[in-house]
Structure 1
């Protein structure tokens, strides 16, 4: 299961059960489908009654004026029973009754609804009521309820309603509770560059990286290109926060998806960010880049690292198996990053040189010849004497 999807499902279940997420960590071995089915079953059990009592009671509403139904709902039944009756009321009548209810009571009803059972009504609600509900639910920080409804609305409605959410933090918290993040990711097309940047900055300030990176996981290529063009306007603190979170949760593939579109200047900028990471994190960047097919992107950034940082990277080379170290050398050559490749080889710990010699012996002679030509021009040529002998 994707670690970010798992975090979302744990957050949702914790909200429903009114416990902290750490109490549910024992469920981490469930598959994503199993976790979602568990969430749905618990929500159904807590918020609805599967008996036919509600259907029979709802049938009575057909014979009463809508304003009377609204008064009975508010004064006698309350939001929970009203929500249970809603599933069994004709759509047109449900909308008509809602117009006779104040928005505060409707918001309480919405909290008790299971959206999957009320899709027909959600889709039929007029925008003025949805706008009013969005404002009330945002005011009361009912992000779980809003996120659950988003999964069952069309893109245009969600985009319009999202503009009724005044602060970016609330927007990200709603997105955190949505299941259909691919659906939500398309909404960013309607946001300004400033809004996109603010989403990244807010994720850093409010510890909402699961929401932002959860959306990045569903970005299309053109969206990654757009984000890459904005990296230079994002604070160093935010970029520094994003990378370690992605490392910890196995989500670096989603970071490399937009990093590969950076300009050369931005590769240099990212190198200054990566230089602030510890050696362990630098090593994981290389592994993640290789696993996601973006080793070239990682090396383009590494090419701008200062010698002390390349030395830190070289010191972690024992974490790379022979094949990965070989791919690093070959990719550096292919991408015309020979200076980086040479620096890495020159700065390998003494204990790693025999292994590097063995690997170099399996590499095409032309590549070795190119390296040897570069060695003569390198300030590190004394450290690379072992490679010149091959």
Structure 2
């Protein structure tokens, strides 16, 4: 589960229901997909309300002059009803009407429009008009609505809108609310690389503190290849950037989002990240391990042990020693699945004796069930680390 994705969904839900984000904070523990389905269900219910009346109005509007429809929309129907009627009208007629409507009013309508039901209409709206409406949304800080529409825009429209947004921070606000994370990779490719680099560097600016989760969201929600590219790009900006990202992840409690990103980085960058002094700090390491346990990320964490220096493995051992007994079993199972016994047992040997013996009893519990070759490999690593006598 992604905390960042859940936060984005909560903001969309708050806008839809007219609630404050704080009022819906109790929903944050829910998976982002659950929140998304709730939002879609509310949209569908809203669309069904007075559906027959809306369809009749749309049928009448087909026969009215464009100028009269514009006047009715602006002074009688209002944004919400206009949005619903637009979704029922032929897309070419609705697109023609957009040319006559004030951009600020269209921005109001967009807040109520379900882009899933208006794909064809969005495709037919002129790029210049889209830019005008985007500027109206931007002036009022409506990043949520902008993010909802991004994936339905053409590449030319995305570029045109991005060119009018001078602040990379505002770009990140919009990207944070993009609906389809599958589309995010392509959208990032559309942006100039220099703008992406400048966006990542915003983590160095304490004045842009509220933007940090949005910037991290960019890296966490793209695909594997782009995760590596963006992560390596961040690392290439210096340890100050990496330290700032670690600080943001710790302060915002985002390790369950960040840990999978680290495993996507190039090996040399992984080794550099996991051995930073900021990572070794006890509060940070404890939180990383807690996130690994709560979000079932032990396989990811164990895969990083191979790059850790002695000082980092000592820090891991100190944090492991504070975990509940059942967590030790989950670590051992991840080591079994990943065949990462060498670095895992190297951490075990650093534990206090009581916790070390607990771990070795768990490993011995696999002996009746694991194949002979697997146990032989484990025994060799146990002997290598001087743990055989304790295991027996």
Which TM class, normalised by the smaller chain length?
Answer: 0.7 to 0.9
| Superposition pairs of residues 95-244 of structure 1, within 5 angstroms | 95-155=95-155, 157-202=157-202, 205-208=208-211, 211-232=214-235, 233=237, 235-244=241-250
**Equivalent residues in 2 for 1:12-161, closer than 5 Å:** 12-27=12-27, 35-43=35-43, 50-155=50-155, 157-161=157-161
2:291 counterpart of 1:291? no
What does residue 331 of structure 2 align with? 324
Normalising by the residue count of structure 1, what TM-score does the alignment of the two structures yield?
Answer: 0.76
Structure 1 residues 111-158: Cα deviation after superposition (integer angstroms, max 9, x where no partner): 332323322211211111111111221121111221222243345543
Root-mean-square deviation (Å): 4.0
TM-score (norm 2): 0.75
Conserved? CA contact 1:70–1:100, under 8 Å: yes
User: Would the aligned equivalents of 2:274 and 2:304 in 1 still touch at CA under 8 Å?
Assistant: no
Q: Find the aligned partners of 1:96 and 1:358 in 2 and give their Cα distance.
A: 73
Report how far residue 198 of structure 1 moved. 3.6
1:245 shift after superposition = 6.3
2:271 aligned partner: 267
> CA, structure 1 residues 239+126, in 2 after alignment: closer, same or farther (shift >3 Å)?
same
Equivalent in the alignment of 2:372 = none
Given that 2:341 and 2:381 are in contact with CA atoms closer than 8 Å, whether structure 1 keeps it comes out as no
1:256 aligns with one of 262, 278, 301? 262
Q: Distance in 2 between matches of 1:301 and 1:285?
A: 20
Cα deviation, residue 345, structure 1: 4.7
In structure 2, the partner of 1:380 is none
Structure 2 unaligned blocks of 5 or more: 368-374
Give me the whole-angstrom Cα distance separating, in 1, the residues matched to 2:37 and 2:361.
Answer: 52
Q: Contact conserved, 2:329 with 2:362, CA < 8 A, in 1?
A: yes
CA distance 1:98–1:48, change in 2 (3 Å): farther
Residues 323 and 72 (structure 1), Cα distance of their counterparts in 2 relative to 1, 3 Å cut: closer
Which residue of 312, 315, 322 corresponds with 1:309? 315
